[in-house]
Amino acid sequence: MIRKMASSATCIFCKIVKGEIPCLKLVETEKTLAFLDIQPLSRGHALVIPKHHGEKLADIPDDSLAELLPIAKKLAIASGAADYNILQNNGKLAHQEVGHVHVHMIPKPNEKEGLVVGWPQQATDFEALKKLHAEIKEKL
- Is 102 one of the annotated active-site residues of the chain? yes
| 46-50 sheet: strands from edge to edge | 25-28, 32-36, 46-50, 103-107, 84-87
Q: Which of 52, 53, 100, 102 does the annotation list as catalytic?
A: 102
Nearest to 124 by CA among 133, 116, 115: 133
Give the CA distances from residue 84 to residues 10, 108, 116, in Å, rounded to whole numbers and listed in that order: 31, 5, 11
CA 95 – CA 82 distance, rounded (Å): 25
Beta strands, E only, the chain: 25-28, 32-36, 46-50, 84-87, 103-107
Catalytic residues: 102
